[in-house]
Structure 1
Amino acid sequence: MVNREFTVCVYCGSLDTVPQSYLDLATAVGEGIAARGWSLVWGGATASMMGAVARAARAGGARTIGVIPQALVDREIADRDADELIVVSGMRDRKARMDERADAFLTLPGGLGTCEELFEMWTSRYLDMHRRPVVLLDVDDHYKGILAWIDELRSRGFVSDVALGALTVAADVDAALAACAG
């Protein structure tokens, strides 16, 4: 990695249908990132939780790096206030560019895309493709069903204890950010 400030990659929901409590959570994460003097890399949108985390981080003085595919620039409303907005060709390039910039990965509540991003970084950590922290902020048991399913996979021999150890699950913002710091 290049010698620079610590940067957290945040994955989270982008639909405007999420409850206010999740927008508040994203805001608290952005504030926490800024309070620690870190930078944020995220999906580059102003919508929903994605926008909330970026606005809060930026308001607290954090550098924000948004990465968004061209096809989503209008749909997700690209965050033109980002300190750096990187427009890429597609989702695979988006994830690769976010990965390149991150010192840790933090997943907040989200849907299919958020889960896909979490699983990719968790799997690559387990396979020793990187050694950066992968943290799941599981408030209100948002991921309870997925975690139960993964435990079932473990009991059937499809997931090892080593793989489970490659993910840190936190129940609050402070614990999640502390886990990101290693």
Structure 2
Amino acid sequence: MKRISERDVVMIALFAALIAVLGLIPKLTLASGIPITAQTLGIMLCGTVLGAWRGAAAAALFCLLVLLGLPLLAGGRGGLGVLMTPWAGFFVGFPIAAFVTGLVMERLRAAPVAVGAAAGSVLGGIVALYVVALAWYMLVKPAGLGEAVTVAALPFIPGDLIKAVLAALVTQALARARPGALPSRG
């Protein structure tokens, strides 16, 4: 079993804080009531920079803090009540999305950093996250797949693609500025 280093603990806490800070950027609420936030960019960065297990741990730590009542979600939301909406699947999917993003990044070590980060961000930060979010939406609403995709996915895809590009660019810049600084590539 791999020993968790002090550096790992610091990085996990730092990226949980990054997700929280990205929640301070004012959210944009669509007519459907769904908020668009920058926090999914933080989830993507957890995976692209930290890798699968560290990224998932950072996202899980963030989720735990929110569920304990800290108002860290965009708009200052926190507590168990966040699980009661049809949109909570995005929140619940954060650790899974960070894990998949990091896993793709780790598997694409031979590819350029930006390519691995973009692929990871799309497959983890969008596809994996949406699988969880859409399933949650269909169960809680209740709704069929068509409504879930139309209401809970399509409005977000353009913004999430922009976030995936930003995650790739930030990850690439970090790798250039500090070679060896990406646990996801180590």
Say which structure is richer in strand: 1
Say which structure is richer in helix: 2
Calculate the TM-score normalised by the size of structure 1. 0.30
Calculate the TM-score normalised by the size of structure 2. 0.30
